[in-house]
Amino acid sequence: LRSNSLHSNLTKMIANAAVPRLATAAAQALQRRTYFSVSSSLPQVRVSLAEKTVHGLAIFGGVIAYPIWVIAHVREYKGGN
């Protein structure tokens, strides 16, 4: 019984010490994050159509590759040949 009470008191002490520090750290991280600004002006470096196409195809291929592989191997998933 004494061990359980000690554990409870220790847990409360740690929580009382940690929660304010975590809240302060989270607030500071949020303030640091807001230093960055977002510009809604025209881009400073133009990305070519070819580069946009290659990146688009790479993203599309990366997203669709796994479902296509699963569909191609569905018999193995079901236990057949």
Give the tens place of pLDDT for each residue, 16-57. Answer: 888 888 888 888 777 666 556 666 778 888 999 999 999 999
User: Does the predicted model carry a pTM greater than 0.75?
Assistant: no
> 33 and 4, same structural domain?
yes
> Could you tell me the residue range of the domain that residue 21 belongs to?
1-37
CA atoms within 13 A on the CB side of 19: 6
Is the model more confident about 70 or about 79? 70
Is the pLDDT score of 63 beyond 80?
A: yes
How many structural domains compose the chain?
2
Is the pLDDT score of 66 beyond 90?
A: yes
End-to-end C-alpha distance for the chain, whole angstroms? 61
> 60 and 33, same structural domain?
no
Residue 81's pLDDT band, with cuts at 50, 70 and 90, is low
> 73 and 51, same structural domain?
yes
